Amino acid sequence: MRILFLDGYGVTLAASHGGLVIKEKGGGRRSIPLSDVDMVVVATSGVSITSSAIRLLTGSGIELVILDHRGIPVSILYTSHYTRTPDTRRAQYEAVHNGLAIQVMQEIAYTKAWNQMCVLRKFRHHAPEEVNSSLASIREALDNLAAGHPSMDVARVRRWAMSLEAGAAKAYWSGIASILPSELGFDGRDQDAPDPVNAALNYGYGILYSIAWRSLLLAGLDPYAGFLHTDRSGKPVLTFDYVEVFRAHLVDEPIVKLLLRRWRPGYSQGRLDPGSRRRIAEEINKNLSASIGGRKLENIVRSNALELARSLRAGREYRAWRGC
């Protein structure tokens, strides 16, 4: 995915001759053809965007994403129409009543744990004993999720699946913590923890949220009607569901690799510095172009959203993407 990432201060994004132009505070200027951009991400409060640029982006189907200092999207501007939306969304809402929602939520929870296992195995040689212990716990959760829950009550199955998913995640992050240098102060995943590793993960996930949101919209799905996560007013809970499938491969793995190569995020007063945010964005963008099983990750994220939409419309089981 070709992401135009804007994080400088005093930068203006404008439209010129059917393309985009970036104007720097010091007078610099560079042109960006629309054919080179799939998404524009604004990562700082120091960027200005002209109304003509906004019209050009939305008219060209290019999303404009505004991130806060943690990397969480606070606004996503996109075109007002997508194809096949009515049939897909009717099927999405009906899934809660016909039982398909139960299969979808169990599949998402299972696949999240599965992909965490895939990624953790790659780092096993750094701390074999600790990682093997974590992997055993994840396998136990996978066995339970594979067996399924006998109830057809959506709320009851959701609580059960999320409990098993949370146990697998705790084991996974314990394994990740065991391979990272102790100087980083990383004891496990906590989005509110004041350490640079969690801050870097938060920022990476924010970028992933934007990509997942876009993929769901293009597939005709409603980002606000979830399965594994409970519906909450104003929260894109289907996006929260969908990112679970991809967190480990798209964000965790590249950030852990960076940290093991002795890269250290600049972090002070609860914030990553601009250079660190830029580096994380670059690594995730590079990772999206990487291939697993002969397919680029960016194409997998898009195509699996289409698979979810097709499954809901056809009333058949959804198969989430598994990375190993």
pLDDT at 80: 62
The answer on pLDDT for 5 being more than 70 is yes
Closest by CA to 158, choosing from 88, 235, 226, is: 226
Confidence grade of residue 190 (pLDDT, cut at 50, 70, 90): very high
The answer on pLDDT for 185 being more than 80 is yes
Summary mean pLDDT of the chain:
92
pLDDT at 77: 84
Range name among 81-85, 168-172, 297-301 with the lowest pLDDT average: 81-85
Element (H, E) at 63: strand 63-67
H-helix segments, the chain: 51-59, 85-98, 100-122, 128-147, 154-179, 196-218, 237-247, 253-260, 274-288, 297-314
Classify residue 249 by its DSSP letter: I
User: Can you give the residue ranges of every domain in the chain?
Assistant: 3-67, 85-314
Question: How far is 226 from 239, CA to CA, in rounded Å?
Answer: 8
Q: What b/e sequence results for 33-62 when a residue is b if at least 16 CB atoms lie within 10 Å of its CB, and e otherwise? A: ebeebbbbbbbbeebebeeebeebbeeeeb
The answer on pLDDT for 113 being more than 60 is yes
**Mean pLDDT of all residues in 9-36:** 89
Confidence grade of residue 84 (pLDDT, cut at 50, 70, 90): low
The answer on pLDDT for 83 being more than 60 is no
Correct CATH for 3-67 of 3.100.10.20, 3.40.50.2300, 1.20.120.80, 3.30.950.10: 3.100.10.20
Percent of the chain with pLDDT over 70: 98
Closest by CA to 251, choosing from 280, 293, 215, 210, is: 280
Q: Does domain 85-314 have CATH number 1.20.120.920?
A: yes
3-state secondary structure of 59: helix
Closest by CA to 315, choosing from 90, 160, 144, is: 90
